[in-house]
């Protein structure tokens, strides 16, 4: 089976996401280590995994839409990332 341009771009887009999420995880870990406040930095691995599952699921299909499972997984990943980012914002900026 050959890899189409769409599949290649979908799979390639996951790597910059992983870099950004890993950077966020490292910031959260650093803040937790030096401030003593719980940031739940290990949960930043969940969006990485969920986005990976969703992107691989879409790349395995020949269409760009219509997969309910992939949409759900990507939505869950976004919600988890939103909650974790909001918590980090709350701890680092507002509660300071």
Q: What is the pLDDT of residues 48-88, one digit of tens each?
A: 999 999 999 988 887 767 789 999 999 999 999 999 999 99
Cα 69 from Cα 26, distance rounded (Å): 30
Ranges of each domain in the chain = 5-94
**Whether the Cβ atoms of residue 57 and residue 77 lie closer than 8 Å to each other:** no
Query: What does the pLDDT look like over 14-46, one tens digit per residue?
Result: 999 999 999 999 999 999 999 999 999 999 999
Does this model's pTM top 0.75? yes
pLDDT for residue 1? 57
Compare 95 and 85 and report the one with higher pLDDT.
85
């Amino acid at each position: 089976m050959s890899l189409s341009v769409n599949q290649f771009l979908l799979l390639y887009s996951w790597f910059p996401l992983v870099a950004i999420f890993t950077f966020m995880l490292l910031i959260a870990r650093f803040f937790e280590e030096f401030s003593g406040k719980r940031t739940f930095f290990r949960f930043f691995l969940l969006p990485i995994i969920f986005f990976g599952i969703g992107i691989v699921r879409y790349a395995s299909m020949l269409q760009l839409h219509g997969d309910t499972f992939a949409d759900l997984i990507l939505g869950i990943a976004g919600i988890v990332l939103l909650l974790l980012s909001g918590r980090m914002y709350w701890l680092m900026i507002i509660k300071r």
